[in-house]
Structure 1
Amino acid sequence: MKRALLLILVAILNCAVAVFGQDNQSVLWEISGKGLAKPSYLFGTYHVASISVLDSFPQVMRIATSCDFALFETGGSHIGDTPPPIQTAQPPLDSIFTPAEYAIVDSFFTASSYGSIRQHTNDADLLSMFQVALTIQLGHGNKQDEPFDGLLLNRLSKLNKPVFQLDDPQEVDNVINGLGYRNIAKMLVDIINDKTAFQQQAPEEAKDLALYSKTLRQPLRLSEEVNVNLGKATIHRNAHWVPKIEEKISEGNCFIAVGFKHLQYKTGLIQLLRNKGYTLNPVNL
């Protein structure tokens, strides 16, 4: 059961950064047709990748900066009506972790650029803590302990690029409640305690490109049904995002960065947008 929960959570956080395009296998897709004045772009990210992967392919950043808007899973302004307030708040951290676990997690974050969690016991985001811990444990700790998507978002924000988010707060809250705060807390402690289980081999910065480009071999399976675990993390959110994507690409061209898993299968964004009448073609990087 614990393994299944971890797979679901990593499916939410982890997507694949594939850095080459061949045939229909790519992580960057051009969206056109259906009366769009300019094409938009759909980019599949790997949330815990090193930013050096992005820097190795300046074409992606050139496309991102040429677009009118940027859309991410979280971060940025809401699209459309402001969602209602979240009804269920995350419990304080010291009630989710045991005292011993709390000390382990606090020590871990104190050693990072984020500092002690003690002053954030009542307002820290547990899912973000999980994502940051995974990023650090994958080997980027001294150079990068902010998730890949956050770094990309910050780069575009510094260029005064309007940034929007696809997830409503309630949507994220529903996913977390389905997993359970206590289960997420246990997995966070496991990641901190057992670095090698998530690292496989500590990638040096020079190895990052080779490490993450392996995900290119993951087929998109655009004509297949999604498996149950991945479906729990993607189906509802993908369907919820499509109207928001349509709204923004009708206003101007967009750079849309979401986890690669949200592109895959019949229920992924590639096929959902095609079903709406748009043309999506892979971009060769």
Structure 2
Amino acid sequence: MERLFLFAMILLFNSSVTLGQESQSALWEISGKGLKKPSYLFGTVHIAPIAVFDSFPQLKQISQSTDFAIFESGGSPIGIIPEQIELHQPPLDSLFTPEEYLKVDSFFTASPHGSMRPHNNDADILTMVQVALTMIENKTQYDRFDDLIFAGVQELKKPVFHLDTPKDVKNVMDSLGYQRLAKFLVYLISKNTLLNEVNSELDIDLISYSKTLRNPLKLNENPSENFAHGTVERNANWIPKIEHQMQMGSCFISVGLGHLMFRTGLIQLLRNEGYTLNPVNL
């Protein structure tokens, strides 16, 4: 179960403790290579408290001042519309035992999200895990940190784009497995405890992140095999899309912090393409 927990968290958000300024900022300005206006790359921790956004008005201002916003999912595709792939998630009642189903349904019924029963045949188990993590970690918060940024940009009616293709999503789900995610969700709800208390190997410090928006990015290191499996190919596929959109105008690019990390992360990949990336001190 701990190995599943570690792998799932690697794909969901990834963060750590603090190091030097150059390698720990969560927000980076992108310039050079003929860009007329700078773009910004933000490494989010998906389950961070919503209060973080209001605590850093400069982040909110930047996210809403650019021409476009880019997220991992949501919005329109960039470039050629990818081939559609059906994910075929099994119904929820086939993923849980009756006892587990009742436990998970009771958890969501007690929240503003309500019972999962009406969505038995079309619910997204990965999103359910992320929502549960948010609820457990932040007690009174029921929406994910990323959703607030997304909503703020949409309110301004700015174009919003996404990076992941259906194939990317399918690969992630194939890696995690629907049954394994369901077991992980039951495990989270049964423990109902903070991530830091479940597995110290993750070195996640949400309090530090929330106060400083800093985490070590280990830009001169290579990722572990598990980490690489969930990020390296996706990062490489995202670069041409990000470049294309930045040439069209300034972009606010918000992706999981893990996608900025290591030599294979977006920071180093964009530098390899000739762009200048500098940390923004918030």
Secondary structure of the 2:193 match is: helix
Aligned residues of 1:238 and 1:268 also touching (Cα < 8 A)? yes
Aligned to 1:259: 256
CA distance in structure 2 between the partners assigned to 1:20 and 1:251 by the alignment: 35
Would you say 1:158 and 2:155 are equivalent positions?
A: yes
Is the contact between residue 23 and residue 218 of structure 2 (CA under 8 Å) also seen in structure 1? no
In the TM superposition, what are the counterparts of 1:6-21 in structure 2 within 5 Å? 6-16=5-15
- Compared CA separation, residues 50 and 20, structure 1 to 2 (3 A): farther
CA distance in 2, matches of 1:211, 1:266: 22
State yes or no: 1:79 paired with 2:78: yes
Counterpart in the other structure of 1:63: 62
TM-score by length of 2: 0.91
Does the 8 Å contact 2:93/2:101 carry over to 1? Answer: yes
Deviations 1:12-47 (CA, angstroms, capped at 9, x unpaired)? 212449999934431111111111110000001110
Q: Partner letter of residue 189 of structure 1?
A: V
What does 1:26-41 correspond to in 2, within 5 Å?
A: 26-41=25-40
> What SS is found at the alignment partner of 1:138?
helix
The count of corresponding residues between Structure 1 and Structure 2 is: 276
The answer on 1:223 being equivalent to 2:220 is yes
Provide closer, same or farther for how the CA distance between residues 52 and 209 of structure 1 changes in structure 2, counting only shifts above 3 A. farther
Question: Deviation per CA, 1:150-195, whole angstroms, max 9, x where unpaired?
Answer: 1210111112121111111221121111221111000001111101
Partner residue, 1:145? 142
Q: Which of 264, 277, 282 matches 2:274?
A: 277
Structure 2 portions without partners, runs of 5+:
199-204
Query: Please, what TM-score do these two structures have when normalized by structure 1?
Result: 0.90
> Taking every aligned residue pair, what percent have the same amino acid on both sides?
53
Counterpart residue type for residue 13 of structure 1: L
Where in structure 1 are there 5+ consecutive unaligned residues?
202-206
After TM superposition, list the pairs within 5 Å mapping 1:167-182 onto structure 2.
167-182=164-179
State the distance in 2 between where 1:179 and 1:88 align: 13
The SS at the match of 1:220 is: coil
CA-to-aligned-CA distance 1:125-146 (integer Å, 9 cap, x gap)? 0000000000000023x3x211
| 2:239 maps to which of 221, 239, 242 | 242
Opposite residue 138 of structure 1, the aligned amino acid is E
1:101 and 2:93 are equivalent in the alignment: no
Distance, in Å, in 2 between the alignment partners of 1:74 and 1:39 is 22
What is the root-mean-square deviation of aligned Cα atoms in Å? 2.3
Superimposed CA distance per residue, residues 240-274 of structure 1 (whole angstroms, 9 cap, x where no aligned partner): 11111011101000000111111110100000011
Please tell me whether residue 195 in structure 1 is matched to residue 192 in structure 2. yes
Distance in structure 2 (CA, Å) of the matches to 1:19 and 1:235: 23
Counterparts of 1:104 and 1:265 in 2: how far apart (Å)?
38
Instruction: Please give the secondary structure, in 2, of the residue aligned with 1:184.
Output: helix
